[in-house]
């Protein structure tokens, strides 16, 4: 059954991938010249019920301790550069997502003003997961007051089982206003899209005390805050749960066995991050501890150009707060952040020929 749960959770994550598209006027859809950076935190006391015109969504007071140190980087790439593109036909856009050094790809098609997922792939898979039927990712164009619902029947093949599931997606653009994010970032003219996904299907299981037919129901709600000025969602909030029912009498009686809720998380856009033109030149560099209360240690520094390494620390507003120089062939170095405020910073290392930006957190 664990394999079934894993598969269904993976599917709901796939169906709720809403992190790439601008459904208002699509100025940046497929733009391979820019990359976008997102951070994730616990949603905390954020009010998820605010809807209507003229709303102010205030996410600015997110608890710094709830922010994960890794950052997700997203960029559109030329479909010709995507892994195993020859196995996926009709691709218009490919979105590459990298989180904590792990890359995955979403193969997209724009069809009749509907953005659809054709396949997904990550670096640990042997080949892309090509969906038997395209799945609606986002209805386009989007405007305040918009509503749409769609149900898709799809086929899942477990280890030795084959089952048919129904996926229902309900979309409604139920809010329009101002979005306030941490680090004094604010966006006007934001539309909130509520995307509710529900997967329901039967599976035969024989594991432990459970033997027979069960119904798996996965419900997930995604709130997507889309800003004209970004071309990608400025923030998303996701919450959901998996419920397993034992089917006693088909279509008549089902008994709930367990319910597994997922943590409520917010992912939000952080402007002013690393450019794709910056080239990584120290693959073995260790930065620790991260987060750090005071001293950040650099180990395994490389001097490929023979020049000293200049370092600079910037805050999330792009302001230079510290700088220094690491002498040639000094493989270890310490940076003292004890005088800085709690939060995320950009550490930029440059040897005069190449530069690399790293994220460090002061706790």
> Rounded to an integer, what distance in angstroms lies between the CA atom of residue 44 and that of residue 61?
10
**Rounded average pLDDT over 219-234:** 80
CA quadruple 320, 311, 277, 328: dihedral, nearest 10: 160
Residue 276 forms part of a structural domain: no
Examine the pLDDT at 88 and tell me if it is beyond 90: yes
Residue 161 is predicted with a pLDDT of: 53
Q: Is residue 279 one of the residues assigned to a domain?
A: no
**Percent of the chain, pLDDT > 90?**
17
Name the pLDDT band for 17 (thresholds 50, 70, 90). very low
**Which range, 46-60, 112-126, 312-326, is most confident?**
46-60
CB 148 within 8 A of CB 134: no
Q: How many CB atoms lie within 10 A of CB 131?
A: 19
Return d(Cα 360, Cα 310) in angstroms, integer.
17
Query: Are 99 and 225 part of one and the same domain?
Result: yes
Q: What is the pLDDT of residue 38?
A: 83
289-298 pLDDT, tens digit each: 877 889 999 9
Task: Mark whether 292 and 226 lie in a shared domain.
Answer: no
The more confident residue out of 228 and 47 is 47
Residue 36's SS3 state is strand
Q: What is the dihedral of CA 135, 138, 139, 140, to 10 degrees?
A: -130
Let me know if residue 347 belongs to a domain.
Answer: yes
Same domain for 293 and 252: no
Residue at 280 is within a domain: no
- Same domain, residue pair 243 and 350: no
Residue 351, pLDDT score:
81
**What's the confidence (pLDDT) of residue 2?**
45
Q: What is the pLDDT of residues 307-323, one digit of tens each?
A: 899 898 877 656 788 99
- Mean pLDDT over residues 107-120, rounded? 88
Please indicate whether residue 228 or residue 297 has the higher confidence score (pLDDT).
297
**pLDDT greater at residue 59 or residue 352:** 59
Residue 36 has pLDDT above 60, yes or no: yes
Does pLDDT of 77 surpass 80?
yes
Of the residues 212, 240, 269, which one is the last residue of a structural domain?
269
**What is the predicted pLDDT for the residue at 157?**
64
If asked whether residues 309 and 219 sit together in one domain, one would say no
pLDDT band for position 342 (cuts 50, 70, 90): confident
Mean pLDDT for the stretch of residues 315-341:
85
In the structure, what pLDDT confidence band is assigned to residue 335 with cuts at 50, 70 and 90?
very high
pLDDT at 85: 93
Domain at 322, CATH number: 2.60.40.3080
Mean pLDDT of 110-136: 85
Q: How many structural domains does the chain have? A: 2
Domain boundary among 269, 302, 317: 269
* pLDDT exceeds cutoff 90 at 133: no
* pLDDT confidence bin for 346, thresholds 50/70/90: confident
Full domain range(s) for residue 304: 286-362
For residues 211 and 294, membership in a common domain is answered with no
* Residue 327 pLDDT > 50: yes
Q: What is the pLDDT of residue 12?
A: 43
Give me the percent of the chain exceeding a pLDDT of 70: 81
Residue 275 inside a domain? The answer is: no
For the chain, count helices (H), then strands (E): 1, 20
pLDDT at residue 61 tops 90: no
In a domain, 349, yes or no: yes
Query: Torsions phi, psi of 100, nearest 5?
Result: 55, 40
pLDDT at 178 > cutoff 70:
yes
Q: How far is CA 317 from CA 226, 314, 321, in A?
A: 21, 8, 11
Tell whether 213 and 313 lie within a shared domain: no
- Rounded Cα distance between 361 and 344, Å, is 4
Residues 292 and 230 in one domain: no
Between 182 and 5, the more confident residue is: 182
Same domain, 53 and 102: yes
One domain, residues 299 and 179: no
pLDDT band at 229 (very low <50, low <70, confident <90, very high): low
| Average pLDDT over the chain, rounded to an integer | 78
Whether 234 and 295 share a structural domain? no
The yes-or-no verdict on residue 234 having pLDDT over 60 is yes
In a domain, 200, yes or no: yes
Domain final position from 239, 269, 299: 269
pLDDT-derived band at 156, boundaries 50, 70, 90: low
Least trusted range by pLDDT, from 21-25, 203-207, 260-264: 21-25
More confident of the two residues 4 and 157: 157
Q: Are residues 195 and 248 in the same domain?
A: yes
């Amino acid at each position: 059954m664990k394999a079934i749960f894993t598969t269904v959770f993976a599917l709901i994550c796939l169906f709720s991938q809403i992190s790439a598209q601008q459904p208002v006027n699509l100025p940046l859809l497929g733009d391979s010249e820019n990359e976008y950076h997102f951070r994730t935190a616990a949603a905390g006391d954020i009010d998820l019920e605010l809807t209507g015109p003229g709303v102010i969504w205030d996410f600015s007071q997110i608890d710094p301790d709830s922010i994960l140190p890794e950052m997700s980087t997203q960029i559109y790439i030329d479909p010709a550069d995507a892994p195993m593109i020859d196995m996926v036909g009709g691709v218009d856009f490919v979105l590459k997502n990298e989180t904590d050094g792990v890359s995955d790809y979403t193969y997209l098609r724009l069809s009749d003003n509907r953005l659809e997922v054709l396949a997904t792939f990550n670096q640990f898979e042997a080949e892309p997961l090509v969906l038997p039927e395209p799945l609606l990712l986002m209805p386009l164009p989007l405007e305040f007051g918009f509503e749409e619902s769609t149900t898709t029947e799809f086929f899942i093949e477990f280890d030795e089982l084959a089952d048919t599931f129904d996926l229902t997606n309900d979309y409604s653009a139920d809010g329009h206003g101002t979005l306030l994010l941490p680090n004094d970032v604010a966006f006007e003219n934001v539309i909130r899209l509520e995307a509710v996904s529900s997967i329901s299907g039967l599976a035969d299981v024989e594991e432990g005390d459970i033997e027979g037919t069960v119904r798996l129901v996965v419900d997930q709600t995604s709130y997507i805050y889309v800003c004209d000025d970004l071309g990608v969602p400025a923030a998303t909030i996701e919450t959901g749960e998996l419920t397993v029912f034992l089917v006693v009498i088909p279509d008549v009686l089902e008994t709930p066995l367990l319910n597994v809720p997922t943590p409520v998380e917010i992912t939000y856009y952080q402007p002013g991050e690393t450019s794709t033109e910056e080239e990584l030149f120290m693959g073995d560099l260790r930065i620790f501890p991260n987060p750090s209360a005071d001293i950040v240690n650099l180990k395994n520094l490389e001097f490929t150009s023979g020049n000293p390494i200049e370092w600079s620390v910037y805050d999330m507003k792009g302001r230079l707060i510290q700088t220094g120089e690491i002498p040639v062939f000094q493989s270890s170095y310490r940076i003292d952040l004890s005088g800085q405020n709690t939060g995320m910073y950009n550490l930029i290392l440059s040897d005069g020929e190449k530069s690399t930006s790293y994220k460090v957190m002061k706790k």
